[in-house]
């Protein structure tokens, strides 16, 4: 026997429900043989076996749109505009991009960037030892993989500063730095290999990418690192080494590099 009690807010009266659970097979598919009581209008009975499709679609909507979007849409249909809560990204999972092209410190949560860099340094040697044998490319590729890992495994609220992900492979116009083609190609190669092996039953590489994301989240609380400007300057300096390129031409070595 299950006894539930609720409150009718408009009538200011309590209401009680009694369930007799003899022969119960499911709490969501016809858990009761009948609903008995004074008629009070149409009943929405989502526990009816015929409502299975409705229950499934509701779960899918919640996963795809997020609660904020659903509440806002219901408010729009009822003519009651809903003010979204003040969060990193109110209408999840959509992104709000800044109204400027260059990447500025205000566009990036440094603690997350530092956590990603620290995770790459800690997990890289352990999980990508063969990759790190490639001179001048492996360690940088692991940094990109750590940022890609968050895109794969991150929740929408983690994307409140989407400009941060441009730090993985730069931009074709040179902002925040030229695209490091060697790193870009190797990142794609690692991901393709991980997916292909996972289809064959080996998820070792996918697991390593997931561990990068997990480690980054743990370390972002305490990790420290360069300022955004220092990070971008370093990437521009090393760009020729990584095959850096823009839509105009290959990145030219800096004067200091030529002297060296």
pTM exceeds cut of 0.75: no
**Strand, coil or helix: what is 242?**
helix
For residue 96, being part of any structural domain is answered with: no
Q: What is the pLDDT of residue 80?
A: 66
Please report the pLDDT score of residue 201 as a whole number: 87
CA 222 – CA 220 distance, rounded (Å): 6
Whether 200 is covered by a domain: the verdict is yes
What domain range includes position 224? 105-259
81 part of a folded domain:
no
At 119, list the tokens: 């995770």
Question: Is residue 130 in some structural domain?
Answer: yes
How many domains does the chain fold into?
2
Residues 45 and 110 in one domain: no
Average pLDDT on 71-78 reads 72
Give 242's contacts (C-beta < 8 A, 6+ positions apart).
136, 137, 140, 180, 181, 182, 183
- HSE at residue 111, side-chain half, CA atoms within 13 A, is 8
Is the confidence at residue 232, as pLDDT, over 90?
yes
Specify whether the CB–CB gap between 187 and 144 falls below 8 A. yes
User: What does the pLDDT average to over 69-83?
Assistant: 68
């Amino acid at each position: 026997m299950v006894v539930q009690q609720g409150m009718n807010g408009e009538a200011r009266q309590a209401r009680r429900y009694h369930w007799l659970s003899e022969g119960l097979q499911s709490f969501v598919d016809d858990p009761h043989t009948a609903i008995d009581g004074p008629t009070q209008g149409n009943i929405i009975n989502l526990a009816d076996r015929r409502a299975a499709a409705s229950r499934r679609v509701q779960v899918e909507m919640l996963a795809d749109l997020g609660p904020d979007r659903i509440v806002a849409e219901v408010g729009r249909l009822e003519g009651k505009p809903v003010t979204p809560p003040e969060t990193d990204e109110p209408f999840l999972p959509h992104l709000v991009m800044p109204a400027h092209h260059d990447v500025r410190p205000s566009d990036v949560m440094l603690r997350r960037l530092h956590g990603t860099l620290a995770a790459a340094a800690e997990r890289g040697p352990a999980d990508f030892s063969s990759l790190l044998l490639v001179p001048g490319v492996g360690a940088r590729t692991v940094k990109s993989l750590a940022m890609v890992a968050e895109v794969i495994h991150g929740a929408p609220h983690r994307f409140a500063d989407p400009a941060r992900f441009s730090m993985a492979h730069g931009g074709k116009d040179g902002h925040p730095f030229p695209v490091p083609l060697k790193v870009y190609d190797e990142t794609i190669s690692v991901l393709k290999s991980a997916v292909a092996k996972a289809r064959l039953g080996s998820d070792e590489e996918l697991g390593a990418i997931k561990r990068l994301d997990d480690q980054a989240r743990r370390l972002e609380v305490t990790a420290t690192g360069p300022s955004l400007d220092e990070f971008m300057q370093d990437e521009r300096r090393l760009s020729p080494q990584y095959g850096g390129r823009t839509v105009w031409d290959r990145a030219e070595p800096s004067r200091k590099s030529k002297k060296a």
